[in-house]
Each structure stands twice: as C-alpha cells, then as structure tokens.
Amino acid sequence: MLMKKGTHKTLLDIEKKSSKMEDDEWNDIDFHAKETIILCLSDEVHYNMMNEKTTAGFLCRLESFYMTNSLSNKLFMKKQLYSLQMKKGMPILQYLNAFNRILSDLLTLEVKLEEDKAILLLPSLPSSYNHLATTIIYGKEILQLEDVRQILPHNEMIKKADYMEEASGCLSRARGEDQKLGGPKRDAKTSSSFSCYICKNQGISRKII
C-alpha cells in the first residue's frame, strides 16, 4: 500500500531523504505513510504506538512487539496454532486463511514445527469433516498440506452443488404434485419455501467425497 502511494521511502528514516526534497514535502509523505499504517492496525495495537513521530520509528516499534524472535512470541503463536478450531458453518476458505496466516507468522519467527502441518489442520475441522479427513489420510504414508488445501475447498463446492441440485429436485417434485392434483400454482417464493420444507423433512443429506 505504501509503495502504491509512493510513500514507502519514509521507512528508510530521515537520513535517507533525498537532498532534492524539501523538508515540508518529506514530512507530508511521512505523515501519509504513517496514517496508512495506522488504518491497518487495531485500536489495541495503535495505543502502544502513539508516541512515535515518524513512519520508520512506528514500524521499528511494531517489529519490536510482534516480529522479534523472542520465546514469548514463539509460544504465543504456537498456542494460537494448536488451539485453532474451525467453527461450525464457517466457510472453509476463511478458515484456511486464518490457518495459513498463523503458519506464515511462525515462519517469520523462524519456528520449525515438528508436527506434520496437514495433521494439525485436519483435527481442527468440525466433526462433519471426519469422514472426509479419514478418506484423505487413508493409505498414505506422507500427507502434504498443499494437497489438503486443495481438497477442502473443492469438497465444499461439490457439497453446495449437490445441495442446490437436490433442492431443485424437491421444487420440481412439489410442482409436479400440484399439477397432478390440479391445485393452484404457487408463486416462486412460496414454492421455494415449500421445497425447503420438503428437503428438511425428507432428510436430504449432502454428499462428501
């Protein structure tokens, strides 16, 4: 974001300012750069940075809090990884993003995980994924995280497609019953609601590969 706005040079601090640039122009660029960073921070983080006057000082302070390879930072990020659990109904891509972010932070802290990353991911999924997880690991000696990352979104797309197809089938059957009985035609909204009712009562299940 700073590079796009042309304000990234302020990260090099005042000593790197071009001799051709006036102080007022440099200060203006530095102000916009710092404001851009602030907009990306939570209030709790921002409160710890309020005394910094320059963008370079602002970033150095952020690094000292969150990027140093201290034992406390490493333990905190490991705790986040091991306690991470996907909530029921959460989109799988959203959860994978959270999982990948923690792995990226651990890599920045130079933390090497002894456990297989894929084995850490699968148990953190809801119980509805148990059958899929068993299918993924069955007969494998090595399980790559990248393979699991590809399978999970693909499986979710298939489940959604199957659900829409089955719901459409319920709607078609409901309309067919109306025509056989000679009853009044339902409008689209009523038919849709009725099909959802039938789907629930017929116990339609979603397919899992």
**Rounded-to-integer distance, Cα 137 and Cα 139, Å:** 6
What pTM, to 2 d.p., does this model score?
0.52
Question: pLDDT tens digit string along 66-111?
Answer: 667 677 778 888 899 999 999 988 999 999 999 999 998 888 888 8
Angle between helices 130-137 and 145-181 (to 10 degrees): 130
Residue 162 has pLDDT above 80, yes or no: no
**Rounded-to-integer distance, Cα 192 and Cα 174, Å:** 10
